[in-house]
Copies of this chain bind each other. A is one copy, B any other.
Amino acid sequence: MVPAIKNMLPHPFDPLNVEEIRSAITIVKKAHGDVFFNVVSLHEPRKVEMKAWLENPANSPRPSRIADIVVIAHEGKVYDGLVNLVEGKITKWELLDGLQPIVTMEELQAVEVVCRKDPKVIEQCEISGIPKEDMHKVYCDPWTIGYDERHGNKIRLQQALMYYRPNVDDCQYQYPLDFCPIFDSIKQEIIDIDIPEVRRPLSKAQPINYHPAAVEKAGGYRNDLKPINITQPEGVSFKMIGRELEWQNWKFHIGFNYREGIVLNNITYNEKGTVRPIFYRLSLAEMVVPYGNPEHPHQRKHAFDLGEYGAGYMTNSLALGCDCKGSIHYLDAEFPTRAGDVRTIKNAICIHEEDSGILFKHTDFRDDSVIVTRARKLVVQQVFTAANYEYAIQWIFHQDGTIQPEIKLTGVLNTYSMNPDEDTKGWGTQVYPGVNAHNHQHLFCLRIDANVDGPNNTVFMSDAVRSDAPVGSPENYYGNAFYGKRTKLATTGEAATDYDGSTSRTWDICNPNKLHPYSGKPVSYKLVSREVPPLLPKEGSLVWKRAGFARHAVHVTKYSDDQLWPAGRHVPQTSGEPSVGLPEWVGDGTESVDNTDVVLWHTFGVTHLPSPEDFPVMPVEPITLLLRPRNFFTNNPVMDVPPSYCSTPSQVAAKGAGVTDAADKMSKLAFANGCRSAADAKGTNGANGH
């Protein structure tokens, strides 16, 4: 860290820095002795205060730096607290009952160690065909138990998904074991083991691996990929002041917390000198991954990766030239350790630009006069590892005012054992001999704290529909009439809406107080999202109760400072009775969300029916959506992006005099000698391959 930073006051949106985390921990320890720190994170400024400061920093009080604390004390007692770091004092300290805080990496790591030594686990391994001297080859992925009605939520539990790895370098998921120990985090012991009625001994299949030694043995790496170099010799086009980024009229603050990972705040776009607010806060706020196998105990597999483990806590340290190419800026992340120290994740966030193809183009067919302008995008990315799976979260900014959250799924399928010739009953796929990959969904909840030209917004649902008038009627004689039907979502109840592919449904976040001068429609940002499966666990099911946010594609609530996480603040072991988080905030559905400070919650994702191509490691599967300005800008906001080439009709008539030719001169013909192909260059006549 350079000295200049040290002397800077943190921006109120900045994550707690190392000194602040240490300071909070010291204060808590002084008051409450040795406790386990599950959370020491920025308690975000209250919006009223923060907006006042953003609007007038010179004359408004700077929002305090407050640490949000969750600890586990003796006998598993859980406390929620707040520490005011400016005043150096604890301002809230509250004992919780029947709530389990987020699981830390250290808690996860502990389970495997205990499992390997537990006699009952060893016994089950032996029954599966693993001799006790091979217990070091037994691994477990520790998940929170989700909710198990037999155990409730007073005891802090994890379930251990068991695997056998013949060699330490092997893919962990190819020899799943059929039993599931239950681990008490406080006692640090196995308290129960779920054993299926039908046993599935260790598979005898040959191993399949993707590490270099295995690939070399299987024939080696392909050697026909030539390098692509991406460079920015004049530097990048974005600027950063602390964690505030400016690029192509955009400006926003990049936060990061243990839970949501990247948080973008105060997103604005400068339209010809007018700074226009768009979103106050944007984040991935929760997710749930329900698995579709109804056999006990697989119903417990429905990970809330953000609320139960934390996209921040699980985030990868990214590497230059691996996770991204080109000219990259990184931001680190700092978190408490469970014992009260600080750990740093270097390069937790990467920021870079990419060429993005054609931005716009038009040719006049009369004379081939043409303009072609290339697009640039900015990517703010993190990658996190949730046990078997990886999620690369990209926040992509486009020059035209579009924001595109994109998630790339990769990593390894969660797997379960199956006997030879066992019927999967359709709940999964045998992706490798003895390996059953269960059907599952990845449902993400995007939290959009809207600020479209100001805080008072209204959400409309927009459906492309046919005119009611029949073919042959005077109003629709040729039958071609269609239009965008807009439905105002005036209350939290009306706003609980589902996706409809048959009307290309979108949702418009409008500022009803400001109409576009030409279209007469309210300025808006449109949510365009096409990967919107419904929650497949049924109404009334365990997942439906716990993941209330996933019941609808869109919910809208009135802004409230502490309503950040739609499955609740403390997610592990919630029963869903009653449902916490978003269903509470929606309430009886009568609250107005019309022309007020609103938050839109959007659940999207994929239903994944696995296939052998996904194993033993999954090629990236992307999911994407758009937040597009509609009736927001006066007109196309990117006309001033310099074109690569532009000739006007008068220039064409003047035989090209005066045309703009700024084409990228680094681009080359693939086959440099001008021949039509590599083969031609070698003089072959190549009628039938080589």
Instruction: List A186-209 residues whose CB lies under 8 Å from chain B.
Output: 208
Q: Which of B230, B234, B433 meets A230, CB within 8 Å?
A: B230
B645 touches A322 (CB 8 A): yes
Q: Which of A296, A320, A500, A628 has the most CB of B within 10 A?
A: A320
Instruction: List A600-651 residues whose CB lies under 8 Å from chain B.
Output: 606-607, 609, 611-620, 628-646, 648-651
B363 touches A228 (CB 8 A): no
- A516 cross-chain contacts in B, Cβ below 8 A: 612
* With known contacts A228-B326, A636-B210, A429–B477 Cβ distance under 8 A: no
**Copies assembled:** 2
User: Is A578 located at the chain interface by the 8 A CB criterion?
Assistant: no
Give the size of the chain A interface in residues (CB under 8 angstroms): 228
Complex: chain B residue closest to A668, CB-CB: B327
- A213 cross-chain contacts in B, Cβ below 8 A: 648
* With known contacts A464-B533, A688-B57, A225–B248 Cβ distance under 8 A: yes
A321 touches B666 (CB 8 A): yes
Complex: chain B residue closest to A246, CB-CB: B689
Which of A6-14, A25-33, A74-82, A333-341 lies at the binding interface?
A6-14
B362 touches A241 (CB 8 A): no
User: Is A48 located at the chain interface by the 8 A CB criterion?
Assistant: no
B230 touches A229 (CB 8 A): yes
User: Is A676 located at the chain interface by the 8 A CB criterion?
Assistant: yes
Q: Which of B320, B360, B432 meets A518, CB within 8 Å?
A: B432
- A628 cross-chain contacts in B, Cβ below 8 A: 613
A686 touches B8 (CB 8 A): yes
User: Is A351 located at the chain interface by the 8 A CB criterion?
Assistant: yes
Instruction: List A491-530 residues whose CB lies under 8 Å from chain B.
Output: 498-504, 516, 518-521, 530
Complex: chain B residue closest to A428, CB-CB: B483
A241 touches B360 (CB 8 A): no
Give Cα distance in the complex from A32 to B677, angstroms.
39
User: Is A314 located at the chain interface by the 8 A CB criterion?
Assistant: yes
User: Is A375 located at the chain interface by the 8 A CB criterion?
Assistant: yes
User: Is A51 located at the chain interface by the 8 A CB criterion?
Assistant: no
Q: How far is the CB of A662 from chain B (nearest CB, A)?
A: 9
A275-311 near B? 1/0 per residue, CB < 8 Å: 0000000000000001111101011001000000000
B663 touches A635 (CB 8 A): no
User: Is A585 located at the chain interface by the 8 A CB criterion?
Assistant: no
Complex: chain B residue closest to A165, CB-CB: B649
* With known contacts A212-B660, A617-B639, A670-B236, A361–B390 Cβ distance under 8 A: yes
- A482 cross-chain contacts in B, Cβ below 8 A: 292, 439, 441, 536-537, 607
A360 touches B618 (CB 8 A): yes
Can you give 17 contacting A-B residue pairs, CB < 8 Å?
A2-B675, A112-B366, A168-B653, A169-B651, A213-B648, A218-B639, A226-B234, A228-B354, A326-B668, A327-B667, A328-B668, A431-B518, A471-B538, A480-B536, A482-B607, A504-B606, A613-B635
